[in-house]
Amino acid sequence: AIPVVLDVDTGVDDACALLLAALHPGLDLRAVTCVGGNAPVDDVVANTLTVLDAAGRPDVVVARGADRPLLEEAVDARHVHGADGMGDLDWPRSTRSPDPRHAVEVLRDVLRAAAAEVAHGADTRVTLVPLAPLTNIALLLRTYPDVAPGIREVVFMGGAAHVGNATASAEFNVFHDPEAAAVVLDACADLGIPVTMYGLDVFYEPRVGLPEADRLVAAGGRGAAELAGRLVRFQAERFGSDSATIGDAGAVCAVLDPAGVQREKLPVRVELAGTWSRGRTIVDRRDWTGDLSHDPHGQAPATIDVCLEVDADRYTRLWLETVEGGGR
Ligand code: BDR
Ligand code: CA
């Protein structure tokens, strides 16, 4: 199984991603770290514990991280994700508490342990899957860069080559903490950590319809399948649609089934200024980008894998089969 850590702002679609990561036998979920984003961080922690309980995975370490972006005030997205950040489903809340360590310390400890195993010849490097503003990951990589040998790659949901959602220019996770996103791209380039951006170019495409959601809900028993179905229903209703995206769960699919997305290695910068463009990921698709000697900024951007197309049905199937199997 692939060792993974998810960094989340649960979040309706983060919940969909957590269910997949907690239930799929191809993943070894080593910890989940929480950050303020879709909802304030304390709600994110409560939601995350609740999802892991429904998935029958109370063994997974959950830690509370940054409650605000590096520079600006937190602006949540409860208008999209509900007052509790997870669809206001009236679902029994977890009674568990998070790990006493800060999220950055949990990331440090898990990744150092992986690095130590690697030093002894095992290939147990961890795939880091941030599905939220990148605040925790920026703090981690600047504070403890020695964790790099424990990281296989970073596959993050955020950004876009084309359009935004939080603004016309910018995707929510990057818009919420642009400095953190810029730090993560910069630090990964410095430390030699490969990065994949699973952004809005693919994010909305893997979708689940209401009939499938109803089938999941019918599994009942307050298990993973019922929760999954109710999350899909909430999202579809909120957007007045007959289907909903699995959202962040698609990035977890990209770890499990990398061939389901088509990626291109492209230079990416994060816009930190700009009146209407702050938080935009500037993806350089000019055909001469190999020659950066003409770059007027005189500063090389990070070159990362950008997901440009997705086999949506394949990822929807992967998600549905996994969460249905997890119904009790
Ligand atoms: C991202 O922002 C949040 O609303 C979702 O959870 C996802 O991570 C999409 O822009
Ligand atoms: Ca998210």
Residues 6+ apart with CB under 8 A from 177: 69, 70, 71, 72, 133, 134, 135, 138
Residue 199: φ, ψ to 5°: -110, -165
- ipTM of the complex model: 0.98
Q: Which helix (H) or strand (E) holds 264?
A: strand 261-270
d(CA 220, CA 226): 5
Q: pTM higher than 0.90 for the full model?
A: yes
pLDDT at residue 234 is higher than 50: yes
Q: Which helix (H) or strand (E) holds 267?
A: strand 261-270
Identify the pLDDT of residue 326: 66
CB 76 less than 6 A from any atom of ligand 1: no
Ligand 2 centroid – CA 294 distance (Å): 37
Q: What's the pLDDT band for 154 if we cut at 50, 70, 90?
A: very high
CB 8 less than 6 A from any atom of ligand 1: no
Strand partners of residue 153: 127
Atom 2 of ligand 1: nearest residue by CA position: 172
pLDDT at residue 232 is higher than 90: yes
CB 212 less than 6 A from any atom of ligand 1: no
For 303-320, write each residue's pLDDT tens digit.
999 999 999 999 999 999
- Residue from 6, 10, 12, 13 whose mutation best tests the ligand 1 pocket (most atoms within 8 A of CB): 13
Q: What's the pLDDT band for 300 if we cut at 50, 70, 90?
A: confident
8 Å CB contact between 126 and 33: no
Mean pLDDT of 158-173: 96
For 16-57, write each residue's pLDDT tens digit.
999 999 999 999 999 999 999 999 999 999 999 999 999 999
Instruction: Report residue 205 as tokens.
Output: 């495409």
For 195-211, write each residue's pLDDT tens digit.
999 999 999 999 999 99
Q: Which helix (H) or strand (E) holds 30?
A: strand 27-34
Ligand 2 centroid – CA 8 distance (Å): 6
- Residue from 157, 200, 203, 307 whose mutation best tests the ligand 1 pocket (most atoms within 8 A of CB): 157
For the chain, give the percent of residues with pLDDT over 90: 89
